[in-house]
Amino acid sequence: MKYKISPRILILICFLQFASHKIYAQGPDSVYIVPKTPFLSQLMDLKELNVSINLSDATRQIPVQNGVIDGNAQQLIKQGNDIYVFIEQTGFVYKLTSYDTANLVYKRMDKTVNLNYNIDCFNFAFDNSLYSYGGYGFWKSNGILRKFNEKDKEWDVIPLNKEVIATSYLWFAPDEGKLYLPFQRLVNAGIAGPEYIRGIPDYNTYYLDIKKQEWVKLGKLEKEVIDIVQNDFSSGEYLAYKNGYLHRVNEETYLFDIRHNKIYKSKNANLNQFLIRRASAVNMFIFEDKVYSYDLTTQSFITFPFTLADFELMRSGIWGSTSIVYNILMIILVLLLVVGFSYWIFNRTVHRKLEIEQLKILKNKTVNQAFTGTEVALLNLLCSASQRKELVEINQINHVLGIKDKNIGLQKKVRSDVMKAINEKYEFITQSNQPVIGSSRKEEDKRFFEYFITPSELNTIKRILDKN
């Protein structure tokens, strides 16, 4: 028995095949018309809101039905009136192009082919362009910056001065055009060892200047902050605000003020509980002075006050400063020390050579001896006393000079002549105006003097005596 297929059935079969192909092909110009939900209506009413929101299953905007990406999470980015939806770990991005009171129209912007290279990447908008940074894929994390190419509908890699590996601890300052990364965690399952699967931490802090396309080192994570983050491997629960982000680690909530390099700890138990009950942080954001969380039951946002008064400032900053200015000052200081030390060595060497030449001149004039035996004996007496922090009295000097039995007038003249000769020779040798022998009045009887070697000249005269 033969059966005839009517033309209507053939047309229906062709239509179903075409529809099935459209569902799975996900062509580059795919358009989705979806109902306008209270969730998006309320977001659109917040005209000045600029935020990135991780969507839950119930608030996903793009009803993808591809077997490969059907379970992928979605992220919504709102920049003023522009709304974008990213299909995570794919590179697929849709833009809200039009809407009415009942429906929304999303049109796919890209022609992405490669998937799964950017799991948990950081998506953001800047200067009317879309960017994607980092992520995990093909068994390792990366620090690649990608920019959406409007003409080719593809993601272009932006070459940077170095690769800095991403973590979830990221904050973008749109007014500065800087992406801040407090620390890195290098994941590479291709290297043996469980630590490479969890990630090797690198606690150096950087920021990426988007316009200059280069990473700049800020410093290194403080010990107090390392103790907080070292065992935190979460990829969500980050709520950005104007100066940084709110993040929960275990049962504690921390406020990372990246802009001012400060970290705060919540002292409000109610805020902690509010965030713990919303651990996934989906459908949440911070706007002005409130934390917004979408309630699927009431289909409206509930809020919790967000104020700095609920936090206490921790002792350390987020990172220790090793700024460019600090490095330049350290280099200048080192150079000054090197120059100063070199000048001291040079001056000392020249001075020593001059002493030797002057000593030779005196030796030639005084039968190969700069100081006479009597002068050397007096200098040795004064040097020994000065080393013991003692003063030499007149009678000791008279004994060394061999004039202890002479009359007072002669003693005074001989002492004066010998000391004057020693000081003149010393000043000639050292080419200075500093006398080697000094005097001071005796404490017990101001009529008499006591003598000593000038403290600053003690080492020099000892060296000269050794060569005398």
Position 428 scores a pLDDT of 84
Report residue 463 CA to chain centroid gap: 52
Instruction: Please indicate, yes or no, if residue 50 is contained in any of the structural domains.
Output: yes
Mean pLDDT value across residues 186-201: 85
Instruction: Please indicate, yes or no, if residue 319 is contained in any of the structural domains.
Output: no
Pick from 11-15, 229-233, 309-313: least confident? 11-15
Domain extent, residue 54, equals 22-244+276-306
pLDDT tens digits, one per residue of 213-255 = 999 999 999 999 999 998 887 766 799 999 999 999 988 999 9
Note whether 295 and 423 are same-domain residues: no
Note whether 31 and 157 are same-domain residues: yes
Note whether 418 and 295 are same-domain residues: no
Mean pLDDT across the chain: 85
Position 9 scores a pLDDT of 40
Which CATH number is 384's domain given?
A: 1.10.10
Note whether 211 and 100 are same-domain residues: yes
Contact between 117 and 141 (Cβ < 8 Å): no
- The pLDDT of residue 10 is above 90: no
Last residue within a domain, chosen from 267, 286, 306: 306
Instruction: Please indicate, yes or no, if residue 267 is contained in any of the structural domains.
Output: no
Mean pLDDT value across residues 413-423: 89
Integer CA distances (angstroms), 301 to 35, 56, 290, 296, 365, in order: 19, 14, 11, 9, 104
Which CATH number is 148's domain given?
A: 2.120.10
Note whether 38 and 186 are same-domain residues: yes
- The pLDDT of residue 39 is above 50: yes
Residues 6+ apart with CB under 8 A from 411: 394, 398, 403, 404
Tally of domains within the chain: 2
Last residue within a domain, chosen from 291, 306, 321: 306
Note whether 29 and 178 are same-domain residues: yes
% of the chain with per-residue pLDDT over 70 = 87
Instruction: Please indicate, yes or no, if residue 385 is contained in any of the structural domains.
Output: yes
- 52 bridge partner residues: 77
pTM above 0.75, yes or no: no
- The pLDDT of residue 285 is above 90: yes
Note whether 203 and 94 are same-domain residues: yes
Contact between 162 and 181 (Cβ < 8 Å): no
